[in-house]
Amino acid sequence: MSERVVSSGPRKPTHQWTLRSAQGGDLASVRALLALSKLPWDGLMDQFGEGYVVAEADGHVVGVAGLETHGEHGLLRSVAVAPEWRLCGVAEALVNNRIEWARERQLHSVHLLTTDASRYFERLGFRTLGRGEAPDPIRASREYASICPQNARLMRYVAAGAPDAEECCGGNCACNEDKSESLDSAEGIRAVVRDRYAQAARQVSSRGSTSCCGGGGADAGPITANLYSLDETTGLPEAAVLASLGCGNPTLLAELREGETVLDLGSGGGIDVLLSARRVGATGFAYGIDMTDEMLALARENQRKAGVSNVEFRKGEIEALPMADGSVDVVISNCVINLSADKRRVLQEAFRVLKPGGRFAVSDIVVRREMPAQIRRNAELWSGCVAGALEEWTYRDLLKEAGFVEIEVVPTRIYSRDDARAIAIGSAIGDDVLDAVDDAFMSAFVRATRPLT
């Protein structure tokens, strides 16, 4: 098996991890990972070897996934990632590797059993089945019969384009709406975004919970990795770092000053608000606005753990900010404005709440060329921060229309088709879409100023 080198998140001294076939000497490390993730290892010795792949960093096993073969069928199990490497894309890479391994061996299907990670595996292309729909060889497996509890959900991988790929959860769950149609309205877009971020908050809050095939949770993709230095994250609650779903570091690029008042649009788990509070000091103040109850609860808990008093999180939508006119010195945001269905209104609101001379300083996803309409309607790309992005020239025009001056758009990273696949976390994203978005999107730092008069 060829190695794959991947960028990691900011919580390790190294910034690379590799995938390789499991070896006999890995068994002790794998058992320790499974124990840490509260996953069973009964029966591991029976199948450990060719069907297993590990992620390795600095000579240490930091992730594992196995695929047991039962006749013409595969059973995915033992998906686990070390805590410091979660939210770095490791789990997704492990799962996709085992799916590809199953394809190479022409297995008829890939199944898994999980008690609390079904939403995550849905995003990777798995669909829920009734327990009675399991093939006989899977039913006869040790995990199906005894390891996983009877309330575990059975799921099967459905490749893009397969006959049942359009069924939501195999037709056995209450989410059979057409997600693309939901993007026809502003409320539909808000629902897609709210669902994604609520799920991310729940996954961060429930880290360490039992799952038969769990691990990974709200895995980060290429957009969210390597945004903050270790110096910045030192002293912050771990949940604030894990819940970071941005595309840049606006608190650093905004050049915040002592005594300033800062407003973060779409504050999520609160990392940028907490960092802003540090930078503006005791004489300054940092506000966070978010529409998701789960993220607000997580952010307030992170504030409590950090012991920060010059911070307030408010519920609201960034198209109608619950802030007074001319009340803040700096507006920041981290990969959120692109998710709004009414960006013109967001920029007008940002202008309204800024003091004369105030600064707009956001990290955002920006489009470098025209995008086909079908991509604009892709729910997976919307919730992955891509499809809703503004073209660079439109971003400039809307900022100017709102009244801003000194407008600047500085690229920080350009995304490839492989990045887009990881961002969408979706086997439902076809090659035609991936080809269309190759090098078409970038993370950028967007600056502007409200004039003094």
- The first and second tokens of residue 36, run together, are 């840490």
Phi-psi sector, 235: left (phi>0), alpha (psi -120 to 50), beta: left
What is the model's pLDDT at position 170? 30
What is the model's pLDDT at position 161? 36
Percent of the chain at pLDDT exceeding 70: 70
| 3-state DSSP helix/strand/coil % of the chain, to nearest 5 | 35, 25, 40
- The first and second tokens of residue 246, run together, are 């941005």
What is the model's pLDDT at position 218? 38
**Banded pLDDT at 144 (limits 50, 70, 90):** confident
pLDDT digits (tens, 9 = 90+) for 366-408: 888 776 655 555 544 444 455 577 888 889 999 999 999 999 9
Q: Decide if pLDDT at 326 tops 90.
A: yes
What is the model's pLDDT at position 4? 42
CA–CA separation, 391 vs 414, rounded Å? Answer: 14
pLDDT digits (tens, 9 = 90+) for 249-263: 888 888 999 999 999
How many residues comprise the chain? 453
CA–CA separation, 62 vs 81, rounded Å? Answer: 6
pLDDT digits (tens, 9 = 90+) for 191-221: 656 666 666 667 666 653 333 333 333 344 5
Domains of the chain: 5-176 (3.40.630.30), 230-449 (3.40.50.150)
Helix axes 343-353 and 392-402, enclosed angle (nearest 10): 40
Strand 311-315 with 328-334, pairing: unpaired
CA–CA separation, 434 vs 262, rounded Å? Answer: 37
Cα angle value 226/99/424 (rounded, 5°) = 45
Nearest to 68 by CA among 113, 18, 37: 113
CA–CA separation, 337 vs 339, rounded Å? Answer: 5
Q: Tell the residue number behind the tokens 């880290």, with chain if given.
A: 207
Q: Tell the residue number behind the tokens 């297995």, with chain if given.
A: 107
Q: Are 279 and 272 in contact (CB under 8 A)?
A: no
pTM of structure = 0.55
